[in-house]
Amino acid sequence: MDILVVGGGGREHAVIKALKKSTRAGKIYALPGNGGIAADAECVPVKATDIAGIVEFARSRRVDFAVVTPDDPLVLGCVDALEAAGVPCFGPNKDAAIIEGSKVFSKNLMKKYSIPTAASETFTDPAAAVEYLRTASYPTVIKADGLALGKGAVIVNSFDEARRTVQEMMVDKVFGASGERILVEEFLTGPEVSVLSFTDGRTVVPMVSSMDHKRAKDGDEGLNTGGMGTVAPNPYYTPEIADVCMEKIFLPTIRAMNAEGRTFKGCLYFGLMLTKDGPKVIEYNCRFGDPETQVVLPLLRSDLLEIMLAVRGGCLNADMVRFSSGAACCVVLASDGYPKKYATGYPITLPAVGAHEDIYIAGAKLEGGQLVTSGGRVLGAVATADTLKEAISRAYALADKIHFENAYMRRDIGTRALKALNAN
């Protein structure tokens, strides 16, 4: 089967490498891919948001299957357009992708179907939002309704900060139309867990849990980023908690989407917080997480393409999805300065990759055959092992063998997870 993968980050590199292992995989195209993905797929310079261009390419090459990974094409209806053109897809249609595309939609869904989440109020008028925030308790959380490159949730510690955030989102429109509506949300505390799941709209099969490290600096300090590293499994996510999540969150969400006429097929990502009152949903994503995918897929023992075809065909069952009992760690190497200003264009030296190791390229391009940095998050160094401790030490050993001039990485990916594991 010839397969088209829409996207061009580290997550897509991990998806492509997993698909390549399938006995049924033929040629793999990445639109647009990147300089590192080019080693594993044919990269075609069509932007992930150029829906017409993607459809035209898929038809002209008669691809057999498409995997749409990033949020924007999903929310824009890329799957609907490809399916209408006769190309079977893995990924939710536009009606279902709204679960990530609109935080107001997902919050209303959770309220209507009693799915545990933070209490919140929705505002379309900045003055009303400011009035409400005047008497709110702090910290509180302000979220832009629409997609905002992962930067749409702001934790504010005072009324002054809250007022400034409302001004930026609703009046200055720093996130464009995404900030026309906002949510003001109760601040929750507890360990965070990412659970990616496969669902065909009937059956939901959670993948191994994971833990993201969103802040730029060690000790969870500094600015929020797209993710500086991940580990899997997440030690806070015990089998007992997993059972509660299945019963109170995963199945109710799938049923709620069906009841709304928005059947979700694809990878549904549950961003959870384990509060003292039980697990609550912080966010839904309509796609694989990045960099969660880089630790989850290396632990998958089953054939990813077969699973994706079953999801599309509505015949998914839990036996098809098997994970190894080991652990994985991904350390992201970024350009120093990320997520603010950073320089790019530096040559990257990659070591030979051993068994149980991999390097997923996110922000790099080829210049005359040489891989050079081109983005904030440049790549992820990944290792799997029997234990989390070993996976972390191997991922760092691999990361230390990768060189480019302004490389920056956190040194504490997995430290908190190890502590939690030892405390259990």
Residue 193 contacts ligand AMP per CB under 6 A: no
Nearer CB in complex with ligand GLY: 57/270: 270
CB 204 within 8 A of CB 254: yes
- One-letter amino acid for residue 160 of the chain: D
Residue 224 touches ligand GLY, criterion: CB under 6 A: no
Residues contacting 50, CB < 8 A, separation 6+: none
β-sheet bridge partners, residue 217? 221
Q: Which does 141 bind (CB under 5 to 8 A by kind): ligand AMP, ligand GLY, none?
A: ligand AMP
Of 117-176, binders to ligand AMP (CB under 6 A) are 118, 141, 150, 152-153, 155
CB of 224 to ligand GLY, least distance (A): 10
Closest CA to 384 of 208, 236, 191: 208
Which residue type sits at 322? Answer: R
Distances in whole angstroms, Cα of residue 129 to Cα of each of 105, 125, 144: 18, 6, 12
Element (H, E) at 65: strand 65-68
Best CA proximity match to 203, nearest among 240, 248, 246: 246
Question: Which amino acid is it at 313?
Answer: G
Which partner in ligand GLY, ligand AMP, none is near 101 (CB below 5 to 8 A by kind)?
none
Size of site (CB under 6 A) for ligand AMP: 15
In the complex with ligand GLY, the residue whose CB is nearer, 170 or 193, is 193
* Binding residue for ligand AMP, selected from 50, 200, 283, 357, defined by CB under 6 A: 283
Using CB under 6 A as the binding rule, whether residue 227 contacts ligand GLY is answered as yes
Phi, psi (rounded to 5 degrees) for 44: -125, 125
* 179 part of the interface to ligand AMP, by CB under 6 A: no
Q: How far is the CB of 162 from ligand AMP (least distance, A)?
A: 14
CB nearer to ligand AMP: pick between 53 and 190: 190
- Specify the length of the chain in residues: 424
Instruction: Give the angle 263-268-271 at the CA atoms, nearest 5°.
Output: 130
CA separation, residue 133 to residues 37, 119, 378 (Å): 46, 14, 39
Per CB under 6 A, the list member of 130, 174, 188, 242 interacting with ligand AMP is 188
Kindly tell me which residue out of 113, 187, 323, 346 binds ligand AMP, with binding defined by CB under 6 A.
187
The item of ligand GLY, ligand AMP, none sharing an interface with residue 381, based on CB under 5 to 8 Å by kind, is none
Site string for ligand GLY, 150-169 (x = CB under 6 A): x-------------------
Using the rule CB under 6 A, is 105 a contact of ligand AMP?
no
Residue type, 412: D
Nearer to ligand AMP, 130 or 153 (CB): 153
User: Would you give the DSSP letter of residue 13?
Assistant: H
Q: Is 290 in the site for ligand GLY (CB under 6 A)?
A: yes
Residue 354 phi/psi, 5° resolution? -85, 180
Range in contact with ligand GLY (rule: CB under 6 A) among 179-187, 273-281, 284-292, 347-355? 284-292
**Six-digit token string for 317:** 């069952």
Provide the mask over 40-79, with x wherever binding to ligand GLY is found by CB under 6 A and - wherever it is not: ----------------------------------------
Q: Which of 77, 271 has the CB closer to ligand AMP?
A: 271
Other CB atoms within a 10 A radius of the CB of residue 21 amount to: 12
The answer to whether 133 and 299 are in contact (CB under 8 A) is: no
The smaller minimum CB distance to ligand AMP, of residues 214 and 389, is found at 214
SS3 label, residue 108: helix
Stretch that binds ligand AMP, among 49-57, 181-189, 355-363, 399-407 (CB under 6 A): 181-189
Burial of 325 (0-12, 13-18, 19+ CB in 10 A): exposed
285 is a site residue for ligand GLY (CB under 6 A): yes
Choose the one of ligand AMP, ligand GLY, none that binds residue 188, judging by a C-beta under 5 to 8 angstroms depending on kind.
Answer: ligand AMP
Q: Which amino acid is at 381?
A: A
By C-beta, is 151 or 389 nearer to ligand AMP? 151
User: What is the layout of strands, in order, in the sheet containing 42-43?
Assistant: 42-43, 28-32, 3-7, 65-68, 89-90
Binding interface with ligand AMP (CB under 6 A): 118, 141, 150, 152-153, 155, 185-188, 192, 214, 271, 282-283
Binding interface with ligand GLY (CB under 6 A): 150, 212, 227, 285, 289-290, 292
